[in-house]
Each structure stands twice: as C-alpha cells, then as structure tokens.
Amino acid sequence: MEIEKILEKIGFSQNEIKVYLSLLDYGSSKAGKIAKVAKIDRSSCYNSLKSLIEKGIASYVFIGNIKWFQALEPDKLIKYIDEQKEEVEKIIPNLVNRSKHIKQEGQVRLFKGISGIKTLFLEIIKTKKDNFVFGSEGQFSKRMPEFALRFDRLKKEVGIKTKVIIRKKRKELDNNNTEHRYFPFDTQSPAVTNIFGDKIAIIIWTDEPEGILIENKSAAKGYKSYFDFMWENSEK
C-alpha cells in the first residue's frame, strides 16, 4: 500500500508501521491487543511503541496500573518531519565543508529510478549553466510529465537556455528556452546526453531509468566540441 511505502520512506521500520496503523485503526489499546492486531511479538511491539512515542506521534495513559496506548493526530507526522529537517539543516554546513576534501576531478555518480533521475535534472538547475542535449526521443516529457513542466519553470527562473539536436523525423514543441536543430540520425537510442558546465549527464531511459553524471572539465569540453560540430552541421 502507498501509506506503508511513504511511512517507510520517512524512516519508519516495518514493525513501527504495523503498530502505528493498528493504533489508528483500533484507537486506545493495551500493548497485548496491539501486538495481536499487528501480528508481531510483544517485545517487538513494546520497542515500536517506545520509538513512536519518541517520534512524538503516539502516547499513553495509565488506567489503573495498566498502560493504554494511542496514536496522536496524523498531522503530527508533519511536525516529526519538520523536526528532522531542522536537525539535518544544522549539520549541512559541516557536511559541505567535509565534502570539499573528498571531491575529485573526474568523479562519476550513478542515479537509479525516477527519483534518481529527478535528482540528476535538479543538478542541471543547480549549476545554472546552459544545457546542450543530443539523443532525445522525448522520453523525459513522456515518462515524467509533471516534473518536466516543473523543470522547465525552474530553467526559466535561473535563466538556463537549452540547445537540443534531435532526429530529423522527430518533432518537438516550441519552447522559448529551447532551440532545436535536426540531424539525420539513423537509429533511435534510449540514451540521452546532457552537457552543462563541467558536467555530462547520460540518461538511459530503460524500464527503470538510470543516469550517469560525469564531473570532468576535460571530458565536458570534448563532448561540447562534438555537440558544436553536430550543431553546425544540423538543419534548423
């Protein structure tokens, strides 16, 4: 289910998810009942309850000598995420400073899946450098239409211009920030090359897309020269 996947993404363990959803479904309950409903052992249930209380999304009250546990309002999840964000923001300057010592010329990074490809495209925005593209078959707009529109808006905001060389028989929508030229490529390819600043991003549009980011000034210069040659010999 989507709920479980999202809770897992924000750091919940499988047992925490089971316990949390059981609390939402059944309301205030004793630990034994929660363990039974969640189908986990009592020890794991207690550990999960403790963790949920520490996260600020569950609580308990004593009725007699017995603890009754309950989930707090679901919007407490937003507060939990905001608190995590605040903690991460505190250490970002230190992490950035440390990363300067390990950055090397020619580093290569691999991105997998739709979320990875989003990160790769945001890297283009981050550089604020014009983007030079060849090999596109329109996969970006087809596979990620909403994010493609957002990417286009971000390009306009930071002033990035794009030049794209595409197959002669293909048609592209007009775009004020994008200039197209047509080259007589013989075959279609799932691989699209982006050149921006000192970086090259190669995106492979397979069932699970993958991206390779190469950060190398000499390599980017070589790819750009290849692009310029094709651009000069392409049709408007």
Burial class (CB in 10 A: 0-12, 13-18, 19+), 102: exposed
What is the pLDDT confidence band of residue 176, given thresholds at 50, 70 and 90? low
Taking each helix axis from N to C terminus, what angle separates 14-26 and 42-54, rounded to the nearest 10 degrees? Answer: 80
**Span 194-216, pLDDT tens digits:** 999 999 999 999 999 999 999 99
- Residue 128 lies inside a defined structural domain of this protein: yes
Q: Mean pLDDT, to the nearest integer, of 168-182? A: 69
Model confidence pLDDT, tens digit, residues 39-92: 999 999 999 999 999 999 999 998 888 999 999 999 889 988 988 888 888 898
Confidence of residue 178 (pLDDT cuts 50, 70, 90): confident
With beta carbons less than 8 A apart as the criterion, state whether 163 and 228 touch. Answer: no
Q: Are residues 119 and 55 in the same domain?
A: no
Q: Does residue 129 share a domain with residue 59?
A: no
Instruction: Determine the pLDDT at residue 97.
Output: 81
Largest CA distance in the chain: 85
Q: What are the pLDDT digits (tens) for 110-158?
A: 999 999 999 999 999 999 999 999 988 888 988 999 999 999 999 999 9
Say if 48 falls within a structural domain.
yes
Greater confidence (99 vs 14) lies with 14
Residue 149 is part of which domain span? 99-232
Listed residue (166, 136, 177, 139) closest to 230, CA to CA: 166
Residue 50 is predicted with a pLDDT of 94
Residue 29 forms part of a structural domain: yes
Whether residue 94 is contained in a domain is answered as: no
> How many residues make up the chain in this entry?
236
Tell me whether residue 168 is in a domain: yes
Report the number of distinct structural domains present in the chain: 2
Q: What is the pTM for the complete model shown?
A: 0.57
